[in-house]
Structure 1
């Protein structure tokens, strides 16, 4: 399983636009083959910071997402909405039985 944390720092005056744009991305991505989970989290400690927490079946599924029309359209629009470059962390892991 592939785990992605994408930290997004949004311009304060663009936050409403960001949330509008990201909602369509969430819906389209959750319907993708190989997507296990795709959640947007808002920081409670840092204003205008969001983290996309993604779980993918494998790197092929994550790569297909990155090449999808809805993702590339979002990243193009997001350039105008971000106050800093996106911070991306990618992990490989498996669920543990507890």
Structure 2
């Protein structure tokens, strides 16, 4: 068993920007998966509310998640491109304990 940090983010896009957000999120995920300390990064789009996205990120620890949020790709993709397209963004952190994989 290993301890890890889990972040679950809910991004609610403005209805007219949902497809644009859907196109940008895979770029953010791809770069984030390459970070030291990242265990996994997945994106899901709500089937009934297609402007709502859930992102589940797992890191070795909270410091690795902090490094993610301070990375150049997070600044250029998330902060500069995705976040301005959102109505809201909620990120909740959890401590995980269990087998991953």
72, 75, 92: which is aligned to 2:75? 72
Other-structure match for 1:42: 45
Superposition misfits of 4+ residues, deviation over 3 angstroms: none
Separation of aligned partners in 2, 1:75 and 1:40: 17
Match of 1:91 in 2: 94
RMSD: 1.7
How far apart, in 2, do the equivalents of 1:18 and 1:45 lie? Answer: 16
Could you tell me which runs of 5 or more consecutive residues in structure 2 were left unpaired when the two chains were aligned: none
The aligned length equals 96
Normalising to structure 2: TM-score of the pair? 0.85
TM-score scaled by length of structure 1: 0.88
CA apart distance, 1:22: 1.4
What CA distance in whole angstroms lies between the structure 2 residues aligned with 1:90 and 1:10? Answer: 21
Instruction: Report what 1:15 is aligned to.
Output: 18
Structure 1 residue runs without a partner (length 5+): none
The whole-number CA distance in structure 1 between the counterparts of 2:20 and 2:82 is: 10
The structure with the greater share of residues assigned to strand is: 2
Q: Once structures 1 and 2 are overlaid, which stretch shifts more, 71-80 or 8-17?
A: 71-80
